[in-house]
Amino acid sequence: MALTIYSYPTCGTCRKAKKWLEDHQKDFQELHIVENPPSRDEIEALYRSSGLELKKMFNTSGKKYRELGLKDKIRDASEDELLDILSTDGMLMKRPIVTDGNKTTVGFKDSEFEQVWGSPQ
């Protein structure tokens, strides 16, 4: 099954993840996270299949995150509120997001990619 990678073209971490996938001959479809952001339901599915805490899906170093003052807002927000916030703007999401529909990784760490995506497709 081909992978889907939500990325942002100027993001260095996204470029590293793409290079890893290419170097490991993984078939993938790239989606621009701002032009083609995942829907709220897709974000929820990505979050659940990642095994991460929902707050880890936020791009906490992003300009938009700081502009909106989300550090304080997400601390006490419910899961529904967090999903609603994430679905408003692709720039709020940590990237890259790579999924095969069953497993999802958020961000890029060589060791994590090797563990999750290193096996033959």
Q: What is the pLDDT of residues 11-35, one digit of tens each?
A: 999 999 999 999 999 999 999 999 9
Give the mean pLDDT of the chain: 94
Q: What is the pLDDT of residues 34-67, one digit of tens each?
A: 999 999 999 999 999 999 999 999 999 999 999 9
Host domain of residue 79: 3-117
The side-by-side arrangement of strands in the sheet containing 28-32 is: 28-32, 3-7, 97-99, 104-106
Q: What is the pLDDT of residues 65-85, one digit of tens each?
A: 999 999 999 999 999 999 999
CA 17 to CA 22: how far, in whole Å?
9
**Number of compact structural domains in the chain:** 1
Prior bond to 37 cis, omega within 30? no
pTM tops 0.85, yes or no: yes
**Which residues are part of the catalytic machinery?**
11
Q: How far is CA 37 from CA 43, 47, 88, 100, in A?
A: 9, 14, 9, 16
CATH of the domain at 53: 3.40.30.10
Q: So what's the pLDDT on residue 67?
A: 93
